[in-house]
Amino acid sequence: MCDDIPRDLFEAEQGQRVSMGAQAFILPGFARPWMDQLLEALKGIQTQAPFRQMLTPGGRRMSVQTTACGNLGWVSNEYGYRYSPIDPASGQPWPAMPDCLLELAQSAAREAGFNHFDPDTCLINRYLPGARMGLHQDKDERDFTAPIVSVSLGMPATFLFGGFNRSDRPARTILNHGDVVVWGGEDRLRFHGVLPLADIPHPQLGSQRINLTLRKAG
Ligand code: MD6
Ligand code: FE
């Protein structure tokens, strides 16, 4: 994929489905009807399982801060990454997946053609200005037939969507507050990432971006 996805703040309308691949879509503003409930639920999750900066297996500190909800959470330290039913910071299970989040994710998955999405984890990443996510594949899940649903909140970010090799030049698109990305099927293992965030404070969330990705991991 060589061309940038032709989309900016003005082109895409709520209710459209912007295609990034045969089974990969941006749903602009799709999360808006759930927004108030979602932000309220996030506050509770953050209290129970605060954001923390994890180490990569290389021993480097990730620039994003991470937490999770659902039956499993993604955890990383200098020894490797894995999904765990227990939050290592508290020794307790992760906060439950809020109903509004599950409903939003299933509804977005359906919109993208994935009918029986049954996520058991939501990875929650917080980006402060300057934080980034290098090109990676999401391949720690057991079942690649399930899609991934990603919800963007707060400051806008430039999302990179590449091919099946790290060296494939990625397309770029902006993800705004309330946008949802769904991808799966033949696009499930594409490389993707996020450029370092500019500080463009969001009216509700201030100088941060929060990204929720729901998956079926177990
Ligand atoms: C982010 N997202 O948007 C990082 N992965 O902050 C991801 O890494 C991601 O958005 C798989 C599917 C959708 C995503
Ligand atoms: Fe990812």
Instruction: Give the type of residue at 30.
Output: F
Q: Is the pLDDT of residue 1 over 80?
A: no
Residues of the chain above pLDDT 90, percent: 87
- Measured in angstroms, how far is the CA atom of residue 96 from the centroid of ligand 2? 21
Residue nearest to atom 5 of ligand 1 (CA): 138
Q: Which two structure tokens, joined as six digits, stand for 35?
A: 């927004």
The pLDDT value recorded for residue 16 is 83
Q: Is the pLDDT of residue 89 over 60?
A: yes
Task: Identify whether 136 is part of a domain.
Answer: yes
Reported as a single tens digit per residue, the pLDDT across 22-31 is 999 999 999 9
Task: Identify whether 5 is part of a domain.
Answer: no
Q: Which two structure tokens, joined as six digits, stand for 162?
A: 């590449």
Of 31, 20, 39, nearest to 188 by C-alpha is 20
161 beta partners: 171, 192
Q: What is the pLDDT averaged over residues 38-58? A: 96
Task: Identify whether 8 is part of a domain.
Answer: no
The pLDDT value recorded for residue 4 is 58
Q: Is the pLDDT of residue 182 over 70?
A: yes
Task: Identify whether 4 is part of a domain.
Answer: no
Q: What is the pLDDT averaged over residues 29-46? A: 98
Task: Identify whether 1 is part of a domain.
Answer: no
- Measured in angstroms, how far is the CA atom of residue 136 from the centroid of ligand 2? 6
For residue 143, the domain's CATH number is 2.60.120.590
The pLDDT value recorded for residue 11 is 53
- Measured in angstroms, how far is the CA atom of residue 150 from the centroid of ligand 2? 9
Q: What is the pLDDT averaged over residues 70-88? A: 95
Task: Identify whether 7 is part of a domain.
Answer: no
Q: What is the pLDDT averaged over residues 163-169? A: 95
Residue 199 CA to residue 202 CA, distance in Å, equals 9
Task: Identify whether 12 is part of a domain.
Answer: no
Of 8, 46, 42, nearest to 28 by C-alpha is 8
Residue 56 CA to residue 111 CA, distance in Å, equals 34
Residue nearest to atom 7 of ligand 1 (CA): 193
- CB-based contact 34:107 (threshold 8 Å): no
**Residue 132 half-sphere exposure, CB side, CA atoms within 13 Å?**
11
Residue nearest to atom 3 of ligand 1 (CA): 211
Q: Which domain holds residue 177?
A: 18-215
**CA distances, 173 to each of 118, 194, 204 (Å):** 27, 10, 22
Q: What is the pLDDT averaged over residues 189-213? A: 98
- CB-based contact 85:177 (threshold 8 Å): no
The pLDDT value recorded for residue 5 is 56
Task: Identify whether 111 is part of a domain.
Answer: yes
- N-term to C-term CA, the chain: 31
Kindly list the protein residues whose Cβ atom lies closer than 6 A to any atom of ligand 1.
125, 133, 138, 148, 150, 159, 181, 183, 192, 194, 211, 213
Q: How many domains does the chain have?
A: 1
The 10 Å Cβ neighbour count of residue 192 is 24
The pLDDT value recorded for residue 12 is 63
